[in-house]
C-alpha cells in the first residue's frame, strides 16, 4: 500500500497531465466553443474572488480560472503535501490535503466532469483524453469523498438549493440551457436544438455515474434531477 507521500506524488502527476492536455494552446477550438471554466459552464457564478483568496494563501499565481490552471494549482498542493510528509510536518500535510479536497469539491468536479463528458461526446479526436481525465477527476473525488450521499441532507444545503445552487433558477429557459444548471453541458459544436430526449439521456447518464462513483454521487444525482426537470420543461 502506498504511503501518504507516495499517494500525494501520484496525484500531483495526474493533475499535471490534466493541466498539459487542456491549455488553450492544446485545444483552441474547444476554448472558442465553451472554455473549461466554471464561469463559462455554470454561467451564473464567477469564482474569481474565491479562487484569488485560495491561491493567494498558498502563493500560487493563477493566470486564468480554467481547468488547466486549476489542475496546476491542485498539483502544486499535492507536491506541497508530499514535501510536508517527507519533512515530517504532518499538520502542514493535512492542511494542504484539505485545501485540495475543498478545491476539487467546490471549484472543479461539479463543472469539470460534465464539461469533459460533453467534450468527449462532441469531439471525436479528443474523446479518449476527455474520458480519461473525466475519470481521473472522478477517481480523485471518490478517494476524497467530496460529495457522498448521506442518510440525511438537513444542514448540507440551503433550503431550495442543491449542490449546484438554486433549484429553480429565475432565468429564461434558453439561458438555462447554456448552463450546467440545466442538467447537461451543451457545446456549440452541436447544431441540433436541445430537446427533452437529450436531457432524459443525460439524467440516465448522471444516475449511472452516481452508482459508479459514490464519493461524488450527490453531485450527479442532483444533476440528474435537474436534467429531468429540464426535460419536462422542453416537452
Give per-residue pLDDT as tens, 107-133. Answer: 999 999 999 999 999 999 999 999 999
pLDDT mean over 150-169: 71
| Residue 11, domain CATH | 1.10.3480
User: How far apart (Å, rounded) are the C-alpha atoms in residues 12 and 17?
Assistant: 9
Which grid coordinates belong to 157?
A: 444545503
- Decide if 107 is inside a domain: yes
Q: In a 10 Å sphere around its CB, with 0-12 CB exposed, 13-18 middle and 19+ buried, how is residue 74 labelled?
A: buried
Q: Which of 152, 148, 150, 183 is nearest to 165 (CA)?
A: 183
- Decide if 226 is inside a domain: no
The answer for residues whose C-beta is within 8 angstroms of residue 4's C-beta and 6 or more apart is 81, 85, 93
User: How far apart (Å, rounded) are the C-alpha atoms in residues 127 and 121?
Assistant: 7
For the chain, report the end-to-end CA distance as a whole number of angstroms.
52
Number of separate domains in the chain: 1
CB 174 within 8 Å of CB 201: no
More confident residue, 67 or 64: 67
H-state helical runs in the chain: 4-21, 28-33, 38-42, 48-57, 67-86, 90-103, 109-122, 127-144, 173-176, 196-212, 217-234
CA distances from 216 to 76, 145, 157, 219 (A): 23, 6, 15, 6
More confident residue, 212 or 160: 212
Residue numbers of the domain that contains 74: 4-144
Residue 156: pLDDT band (50, 70, 90) is low
Over the stretch 50-59, which tens digit does the pLDDT of each residue have? 999 889 889 9
Residues 83, 86, 92, 96, Cα dihedral to 10°:
50
Q: How many CB atoms lie within 10 A of CB 5?
A: 16
- Decide if 37 is inside a domain: yes
More confident residue, 17 or 57: 17
User: How far apart (Å, rounded) are the C-alpha atoms in residues 141 and 145?
Assistant: 6
Q: What is the pTM of this model?
A: 0.94
User: Is it the case that residue 155 has pLDDT exceeding 60?
Assistant: no
Residue 154: pLDDT band (50, 70, 90) is very low
Q: Of the given ranges (152-161, 175-184, 205-214), which has the lowest mean pLDDT?
A: 152-161
- Decide if 232 is inside a domain: no
User: How far apart (Å, rounded) are the C-alpha atoms in residues 112 and 134?
Assistant: 8
pLDDT mean over 128-142: 98
Write the DSSP symbol of residue 52. Answer: H
Over the stretch 174-209, which tens digit does the pLDDT of each residue have? 889 999 999 999 987 665 678 999 999 999 999 999
Mean pLDDT score of the chain: 92
User: Is it the case that residue 106 has pLDDT exceeding 90?
Assistant: yes
- Decide if 163 is inside a domain: no
Chain center to CA of 228: 20
- Decide if 66 is inside a domain: yes
- Decide if 35 is inside a domain: yes
User: How far apart (Å, rounded) are the C-alpha atoms in residues 87 and 48?
Assistant: 33
- Decide if 213 is inside a domain: no
Amino acid at each position: 500500500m502506498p504511503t501518504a507521500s507516495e499517494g500525494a506524488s501520484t496525484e500531483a502527476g495526474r493533475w499535471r497531465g490534466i493541466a498539459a492536455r487542456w491549455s488553450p494552446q492544446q485545444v483552441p477550438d474547444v476554448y472558442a466553443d465553451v472554455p473549461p471554466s466554471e464561469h463559462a459552464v455554470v454561467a451564473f457564478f464567477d469564482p474569481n474572488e474565491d479562487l484569488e483568496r485560495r491561491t493567494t494563501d498558498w502563493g500560487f499565481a493563477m493566470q486564468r480560472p480554467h481547468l488547466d490552471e486549476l489542475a496546476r494549482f491542485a498539483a502544486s498542493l499535492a507536491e506541497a503535501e508530499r514535501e510536508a510528509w517527507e519533512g515530517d510536518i504532518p499538520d502542514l500535510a493535512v492542511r494542504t490535503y484539505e485545501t485540495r479536497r475543498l478545491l476539487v469539491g467546490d471549484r472543479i468536479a461539479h463543472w469539470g466532469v460534465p464539461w469533459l463528458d460533453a467534450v468527449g461526446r462532441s469531439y471525436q479526436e479528443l474523446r479518449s483524453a476527455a474520458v480519461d481525465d473525466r475519470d481521473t477527476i472522478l477517481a480523485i473525488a471518490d478517494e476524497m469523498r467530496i460529495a457522498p450521499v448521506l442518510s440525511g441532507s438537513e444542514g448540507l444545503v440551503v433550503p431550495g438549493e442543491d449542490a449546484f445552487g438554486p433549484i429553480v433558477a429565475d432565468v429564461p429557459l434558453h439561458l438555462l440551457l447554456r448552463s450546467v444548471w440545466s442538467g447537461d453541458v451543451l457545446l456549440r459544436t452541436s447544431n441540433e436544438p436541445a430537446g427533452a430526449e437529450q436531457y432524459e439521456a443525460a439524467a440516465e447518464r448522471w444516475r449511472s455515474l452516481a452508482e459508479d462513483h459514490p464519493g461524488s454521487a450527490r453531485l450527479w444525482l442532483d444533476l440528474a434531477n435537474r436534467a429531468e426537470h429540464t426535460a419536462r420543461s422542453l416537452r
